[in-house]
Amino acid sequence: MNDGSDSDGPDRDVLDRAADLLSQASHAVALVGAGMSKESGIRTFRGEGGLWTERGEPPLNQYDGFRDDPKRWWERRLEQAAAEDRFGESLDAAEPNAGHLALAELERIGVVGHVITQNIDDLHRQAGQQSLTEIHGNRHWMRCVSCESRWPRVEFPVDPEALPPRCAQPNCDGVVKGDTVMFGEPIPPTALVRSEQETMQADLFMSIGTSAVVYPAAQYPMIAVQRGVPLIEINPEPTPLTEVASIVLRGPSGEVLPRLVDAVRERCSP
């Protein structure tokens, strides 16, 4: 592990070693967390300036409330939607930053094969990332809790007189909720299976802007390391993954990733 960095971000030689690894990879997999969207104006939960660092952790049994009374949950949800919510407003206003665009570029160059994101903000899609698992869902989508069918929110109007909304698939009739995974809610099995498959195929792993304490997401880089796959961490602060990382790039992802793309391009151009 090399933590060569200063206030201007990672040293050139550390960045070069990361670019060497990336340009040799054909299926790098990245696990991304809330830190990646900080430069898009969305606060993280943990870490310096995080919402929970300031206010403490919220109750972790939200899903029980939904399961026990989905009608009441939906009524509250529609009430809350009308109320002012600054975190929601920051999500609404957010646009992909230089880090999201650089990660999508690494996919186009052919080195990043898949991104597993914990973010629900849709910014990877907006940046053009194609191969993507949104392990905690996407705030612009709806999902049936029974069959896992998903619909863009704008294509699924919710009738306040007929709550909770029900799945439209033949022979299902499951309850429909926002796609975002609540605290205590199981992660949809297809997202778990895909994340595991991609982790097993990875020839390089990247951990970007995640505090790496939320499971099961945090286990994927660990599995990759146990398989002997090198791990590159990009984060301004240390995490539990730091000590197992082959290379640590200390700095904001919106600055580090574009530098990395330039260095990879130098190596990959004919």
Where along the sequence are the contacts to ligand NAD (CB under 6 A)? 33-39, 42, 44-47, 50, 118-121, 136, 209-211, 214, 235-237, 239, 252-254
Could you say which DSSP state residue 135 is in? T
CB of 163 to ligand NAD, least distance (A): 25
Could you say which DSSP state residue 177 is in? E
Q: Is 145 in the site for Zn ion (CB under 5 A)?
A: no
Of residues 35 and 230, the one with the C-beta less far from ligand NAD: 35
Tokens 């704008």 label which residue?
A: 154
CA distance 122 to 139: 7
Q: Is 146 in the site for Zn ion (CB under 5 A)?
A: yes
Cβ proximity of 209 and 43 under 8 Å: no
Q: Is 176 in the site for Zn ion (CB under 5 A)?
A: no
Amino acid residing at 203: D
Of residues 178 and 209, the one with the C-beta less far from ligand NAD: 209
CA distance 3 to 19: 15
Q: Is 144 in the site for Zn ion (CB under 5 A)?
A: yes
List b or e across 61-71, with b for residues whose CB sees 16 or more CB atoms inside 10 angstroms. Answer: eebeebbeebe
CB of 167 to Zn ion, least distance (A): 3
Of residues 164 and 252, the one with the C-beta less far from ligand NAD: 252
Of residues 167 and 256, the one with the C-beta less far from Zn ion: 167
In the bound complex, which residue of the shown chain has the CB atom lying closest to ligand NAD? Answer: 35
For residue 196, give the H/E element and its range.
helix 189-201
Q: Residues with catalytic annotation?
A: 136
Q: Total residues contacting Zn ion (rule CB under 5 A)?
A: 8
222 is written with which tokens? 């660990």
Q: What residue ranges bind Zn ion (CB under 5 A)?
A: 144, 146-147, 149, 167, 169, 172, 174
